[in-house]
Chains A and B, each alone.
Chain A
Amino acid sequence: AQSVTQLGSHVSVSEGALVLLRCNYSSSVPPYLFWYVQYPNQGLQLLLKYTSAATLVKGINGFEAEFKKSETSFHLTKPSAHMSDAAEYFCAVSTGANSKLTFGKGITLSVRP
């Protein structure tokens, strides 16, 4: 079985501040991990993915995430928030050839001017 926990439903940061969105996973096999972003009234867009290569993964729009097996975490960070980063962010886990994605509940990111 696999699951994802995203602590907190809402994060608010000032423009230019560090963004940190937390994700912890549970998986009985080595996981593949993903972060998706969803803008209002749109589908999901892949930000980045971990597939058992480098533990520090760089994605689009300046986001990156670090896989920490000992902490079963895959937190998403961005050094400097931009107004356009305001959106819903979902962490998801998959177990390889099985394409089923298990998502967390999501975190709403607000960016204050």
Chain B
Amino acid sequence: DAGVTQSPTHLIKTRGQQVTLRCSPKSGHDTVSWYQQALGQGPQFIFQYYEEEERQRGNFPDRFSGHQFPNYSSELNVNALLLGDSALYLCASSLPGQGRSNEQFFGPGTRLTVL
């Protein structure tokens, strides 16, 4: 059973460019959340997708957008990249209302470097 997969592993972009990160959830999961982890910090919630709609959003600007496809995979898009967008981007998948635990399974992340 494949866990959460993310691509690419690493990415280097320059300021002002746009980037797309991809995530495939764990088998059987239909909810995908995205987190940004800056160096030396804990992950911060960006947004969550369920049934192809953004269900919840954290405190991130509109430059950050996403999409969920019918097969539950998801993309994170960031426009007009800033140096401060350099971080590890983590995708997590879960089942909606999974008992009371809300357990999320994380992928290995995409390391984005903005020069």
A-side residues, CB < 8 A to B, are 4, 9, 32, 34, 36, 41-46, 49, 51-52, 90, 92, 94, 96-106
Contacts and interface: CB of A to CB of B under 8 A. Distances in A.
Contact of A99 (B40, B43, B48): B48
Interface of B: 4, 31, 33, 35, 40-45, 48, 56, 58, 90, 92, 94, 96-97, 99-109
SS of B interface (majority): loop
B41 A106 contact: yes
Given A99-B31, A100-B58, A46 B103 contact: yes
Contacts of B41: 105-106
Contact of B56 (A34, A92, A98, A102): A98
Contacts of B56: 98-100
Contacts of B100: 32, 51-52, 96
Nearest to A46: B103
Q: Which 4 A-B pairs have the closest CB atoms?
A: A103-B42, A43-B106, A44-B106, A43-B108
Nearest to B31: A99
A106 B108 contact: no
Contact of B101 (A45, A49, A98): A49
A35 B11 CA distance: 29
Contact of A51 (B35, B43, B48, B99): B99
Contacts of A104: 42
B106 A45 contact: yes
A52 B102 CA distance: 12
A65 B92 CA distance: 23
Given A43-B4, A44-B90, A52-B100, A100 B106 contact: no
Given A32-B102, A49-B101, A51-B101, A103 B44 contact: yes
A102 B58 CA distance: 10
Contacts of A51: 99-101
Contacts of A106: 40-42
Contacts of A102: 45
Contacts of B106: 36, 43-45
